[in-house]
Structure 1
Amino acid sequence: MESNNPSTCEDLSRAAGSFFAHIDKKPSPPSVIVIGGGISGIAAARALTNASFKVTLLESRNRIGGRVHTDFSFGCPVDMGASWLHGVCNENSLAPLIRVLGLKLYRTSGDNSVLYDHDLESYALFDMDGNQVPQELVIKVGQVFEKILKETVKVRDENEDDMSVSQAISIVLDKHQNLRQEGLAYKVLQWYICRMEAWFAADVDTISLKNWDQEHVLTGGHGLMIRGYYPLIEALAEDLNIKLKHRVTKIAQRCNRVIVTVEGGTNFVADAAIITVPLGVLKANLIEFEPKLPDWKTSAISDIGVGNENKIALCFDTVFWPDVEVLGAVAPTSYACGYFLNLHKATGNPVLVYMAAGRFADDLEKLSDEDSVDFVMFQLRKILPLATNPTRCLVSRWGSDVDTLGAYSCDLVGKPADLYERLRAPVENLLYFAGEAASVDHSGSVHGAYSSGLLAAEECRKNLSRRYGISDFLKVVFREEMTEIMVPLQISRI
């Protein structure tokens, strides 16, 4: 419900309306405001709407999806944010919906791939002189890298204090000289470190040794959404009450109600709110809370890291590159390494996507779109001298985008282990939190964001139902409806 300026309990009652219009009439359904129109917010709004709650979703952008953003300007879908389904299996919370919608996946890796990523046989790595790195060397260095990572676990066990993965790798290499690499092999090792940084969207010298391998990775490998993520977002959002271009500036708790203020001064009043804005937005204090959030909540917001990853998508007239999933450039440092995702392999469209993470992603955002594309094309021509000019280009800027201020969460050195639980926990049973950073087991993933939205909606539903004495029979969750239809996942590997 909208209001202009409810400042007292009496004003609030007039603005929000009584929960019961008359004592002898049917009560109005509980009302919830969902803040943020990414997949987490849409999942929460979907579940509560299906449970007959009155739901208003406020989204600051002029589109839904948040960091899940499929662009169609090339004439084909290109995901400029999230693009993989991590865990192509029935245990993935998104699997039922993907099956029912008939969305096809292209599997890029199995369960045993290095760092949960692409299979080695579909790499083509080059040095900066355009010479392809022998596949035998790529595989050999990959095996060495896995041994190094296993040795870092011993370093963790031997040290009570946390340290960065980079520091642990240095300790391992000092102790095990046989794992050191020289020449071209050293550059390939840096490329593997570059790929590790891409997984976490953060530099290896900031990643926590204690927590880097504690993520619960689902089985089934990883797959690209061939048609992009938008069809899934669109299906979840159907018929929801979504208000675009409504940037929230303040969230107040008064008289067992929540007042949400957007730019321009309009207020929305409800029984509870589910906050799904990206962690970077919370860190920047772009939303004022009244009263202020408790210390246990603000410290969680402060201590969870936010990484950055960006994409520069290039559309070409013809395909001039090898038929592999990833083209990589090796270099003396992980910062100088680079790689392109080949969408032609997965989707048949002549598109390469350059991907950058961590400080390198931050530095790319300091360039104009034109300069960013020029840099990427310079990199591409280093490894493929006959590369033609792209016909169209797209550049993401998740780190400086005021609606995100980062790509996704990561574990920083020396921080407590319960941060994600604290970020997820409700405040006064009025404010609920969801999003990828509020997913205890699957942070940084689309299915983690989706599941956290469902969990927040269910907690909100239970508490409001108890508050107003509503029967539990209203419980309807979208995911539960979809699991009844067991259509197999459509997976290809070209």
Structure 2
Amino acid sequence: MTSRDGRRRWLLWGSLLLGAAVLAAVITLIVLHKRGVLASGGGSYTPLPYYQRERNTTAEPAFAAELHPWLLPKELAALEMSPSADVIVVGAGVAGLRAAQVLAANMSVLVVEARERVGGRVHSMPFAGITAELGAQFIWGSESGIDAGRDGRGNPLTEIANMLGLARVATSGTMHRRFGPDGHVLTSRQQLQNLQQWSADLEALASGAAANQSLADVLRGPAMLSRLGGSPANAALLGAEAAARYGVQYGGALGQLSALYFDNTTSYGGVDNVVLGGYSSIPESLAAELGEGGQLLLSSPVLAIHHGDSNATVYTATGEALTAQYVVCTAPLGVLQAGGIQLEPPLPNETVAAVARLGTGRLEKLWLEFGSAFWSEALCGSGEAAAPCEQLGYLAAATNSSGWRRFISMAAYTGRPVLVALATAEWAEALEGMSDEEAAATALADLAALFPGAAPAAQLVQYRLSRWGQDPWARGSLSYHAVGSTPSDRATLAEPASGSLVLAGEAASVLHPGTVHGAYLSGQEAAYRVLDAAAELPQCDSAAGSAEGSSDGDVCVVAPALALVEAAEAYVTDCLCEWPPFLEQ
């Protein structure tokens, strides 16, 4: 063999190797294109393991199905399917709208909402010249930058609020005014310091409690009583403070809250913000950004969801039967617990058990407008002698004649003489048997006892009461960890229930349950789940694919002997059969 023949052979082998490398690169680019260009609103879609995306936690689900791979048109035809949309999202709350926003950039999405408005448990309305929030009112943890010490990001709601120019005011937990059992404001510095220390002791003891213990069990336990100096008066004071604080935060009574997991949340940095400019503008902005890929169907309560291995049908009270490859159901935990939506087949046993173990909290708000802010001067002084409580605006009633746990002074933020009375747990349930007028009368009686001579009833201008517990599409205000529940229950809710159904919402958030940003992130994660499933490549099923190449799992590998262009065409034609709609160029 001459040196020229040797060079030709090396050139031939080199060309083959180069061609194979280029072909591999082309196929890789196709896959990367498929996996990487799916935009999710503000950034590109980058699939990551689920536990890295939404949460850093050791909570493991008790059940996990897999969503089916994307069905191409010929497969849909074989199933005699003509989908109403690629994905149906049930619920136009923050979770549902965020899921739809992510998906609508890549697929056709239909959002089906029972109410005639978007927002779910975020509901703003005009009141006394300001905006009343009947549902969510705070952005918890306002840091919007990177928070590497937690889950790597700041609060997404802060970024949205900044873009919208949404008015909000920072709060501070150091400016509470608390009433003692005798109805007088606690003014002793030592007493306030004791209360703060006892609260810290209670949380420390709760972190080591048994799984079947409630927060009330720990409060009444010998270890806590010892730290209270064995004083029944101290125990009563701490009990009232704990009921007010944790009742407002989680919506459950001390006897219902799991001692071990009641505060199992991850907080963002930064101060908390009171939203003044209308919290509903956040879900409204999400709805407005759905674009051409998203449709919104209001006033259409969902009665049933029939889901299977490869498709699902959503039945509405308006008589429609809507079909899709995937359904993201964001119905609140209370609706799932009450069987408000019929699921066929039923949820897996493990998911049903998780739904039952978690608790649905009750938190109702009574907005009260008065002729003057009579409470302000009494508690905070006036003029140059005014105390900083006006800037916080909390008036926490430790004990009172009814069950109103706390009053928020909107005068601190808006200058308007408005109080927001908060009812939680058992008292919120008791309000269901009262008219709005009767409920307002109980709050006015409490205020009259706390502020003798102020005549609150005579100064009352108007009022508005929320009714989340009686709302058939909410059945409560927020989820909490009830006795016997664990973070794994939330992880189980977040897993697909079948090949076509995945749940989402604040109850399915392990890191941020009971919050609007938790709902937002849960909806986003559910959308990523669908995108992950849709990005799975079908296997080769043609003669060209099997003869000239081979099928390796979900990726078709074409023999490198084919010409480069032919190979790329064969990959698309024989392996994908045709481009899925979200990959067209």
Is residue 2:271 matched to residue 1:204?
no
Structure 1 contact 61–244 (Cα < 8 Å) conserved:
yes
Aligned residues: 440
Between the aligned partners of 1:178 and 1:252, the Cα distance in structure 2 is 55
1:429, 1:463 within 8 Å by CA — same for their partners in 2?
Answer: no
Preserved contact between residue 145 and residue 192 of structure 1 (Cα < 8 Å) = no
2:114 to 60, 64, 67: 60
Unaligned runs of 5+ in 2: 1-75, 145-153, 377-389, 539-575
Residues 436, 69 of structure 1: alpha-carbon distance in 2 compared, 3 angstrom cutoff? same
Give the match for residue 49 of structure 1: 104
- Within the candidate set 87, 91, 103, 1:32 is matched to 87
Query: Is 1:258 aligned with 2:321?
Result: no
Partners of 1:330 and 1:239 in 2: CA distance: 44
Deviations 1:159-205 (A, max 9, x none): 5x531111112114566154444548843652343222221110111
Q: Tell which deviates more after alignment, 318-327 or 435-444.
A: 318-327
Q: Does 1:270 align with 2:324?
A: yes
Tell whether 2:203 aligns with 1:136. no
1:365 is paired with a residue of what secondary structure? helix
TM-score, scaled relative to structure 2: 0.70
- 1:400 Cα deviation from its structure 2 partner: 1.7
* Corresponding residue number in structure 1 for 2:480: 410
Q: Please state whether the residue corresponding to 1:273 is helix, strand or coil.
A: strand
Once structures 1 and 2 are overlaid, which stretch shifts more, 283-292 or 250-259? Answer: 250-259
CA drift of 1:140 comes to 2.4
Task: Verify the 8 A CA contact 2:307 2:498 in the aligned structure 1.
Answer: no
- State the Cα distance separating 1:417 from its structure 2 match: 3.8
Q: 2:492 aligns to what?
A: 422
Q: Percent identity?
A: 28
Does residue 82 of structure 1 match 2:136? yes
CA distance in 1, matches of 2:336, 2:400: 37
- 1:47 is displaced (CA, Å) by 1.3
Which one has the largest radius of gyration?
Answer: 2
Aligned pair partner of 1:102 in 165, 174, 177: 165
Aligned equivalent of 1:433: 503
Q: Which residue of 1 aligns with 2:282?
A: 232
**Residue matched to 2:335:** 281
Contact 2:309 2:498 in 1 (8 A): no
Following the alignment from structure 1 to structure 2, what is the Cα–Cα distance between the partners of residues 283 and 87? 30
Structure 1 residue aligned with 2:429:
362
CA 1:337/1:133 → structure 2, altered by over 3 Å: closer, same or farther? farther
Query: SS at 1:221's partner residue?
Result: coil
Give the CA deviation at 1:390: 2.0
Match 2:345 to one of 270, 291, 309 = 291
Distance 1:188 1:264, change over 3 A: same
Alignment of 1:335-354 (within 5 A): 336=403, 338-354=405-421
Secondary structure at the aligned position of 2:80 is classed as helix
Question: Cα distance, 1:415 vs. partner?
Answer: 2.7
Paired AA for residue 326 in structure 1: Y
CA separation of 1:255 and 1:197: change in aligned 2, threshold 3 A: closer
- Checking the alignment, whether the CA contact within 8 Å between 1:190 and 1:337 is kept in structure 2 is no
- Selected match of 2:444 from 348, 372, 377: 377
Q: 1:77 to 1:331 in 2, by over 3 A?
A: same
* Structure with more contact order per residue of length (Cα contacts < 8 Å, sep ≥ 6): 1
Q: Which whole-Å deviations, capped at 9, do the CAs of 1:432-465 have from their partners, x for residues lacking one?
A: 1110001111000000000101111111122123
Structure 2 distance, partners of 1:221, 1:180, is 36
Pick closer, same or farther for the CA change 1:38–1:147 going to 2, 3 Å. Answer: closer
Gaps of 5+ in 1: 1-8, 18-29, 110-118, 476-494
Q: Secondary structure at the match of 2:470?
A: coil
